[in-house]
Amino acid sequence: MALQRHMLPSELPDFPGVRLAARYSPSQDGLAVGGDFYDAFPMRDGVAGMAIGDVQGHGVEAAAYMGEARASLRALASVTGDPGEVLACANDLLISLGGDLFTTCCLLSFVPRSGNLAIARAGHVPMVWGTDTGDSGVSLDAGGVPLGILPGQSYPVVHRRLTQPGYLVLLTDGVV
- pLDDT tens string 24-48: 665 555 556 667 888 989 888 778 9
- Banded pLDDT at 6 (limits 50, 70, 90): low
Residue closest to 155 by CA, chosen among 93, 117, 103, 106: 106
Whether residue 26 lies inside any domain: the answer is no
Residue 136 lies in a domain: yes
Q: Is residue 175 part of a domain?
A: no
Q: Given this model, what pLDDT does residue 110 score?
A: 92
The beta strands (E) that lie in the chain are given as 34-42, 48-58, 103-111, 116-122, 128-131, 136-138, 157-161, 166-169
Does 18 reside within a domain? no
State the average pLDDT over residues 126-139. Answer: 92
Specify if 24 maps to a domain: no
79: containing domain: 2-13+32-169
Whichever domain contains 129, its CATH number is 3.60.40.10
| Count of domains forming the chain | 1
Banded model confidence at residue 173, pLDDT cuts 50, 70, 90: confident
Whether residue 19 lies inside any domain: the answer is no
In a domain, 82, yes or no: yes
Q: What pTM, to 2 d.p., does this model score?
A: 0.88
Q: What is the CA radius of gyration of the chain?
A: 15
- Provide mean pLDDT across the span 99-113: 92
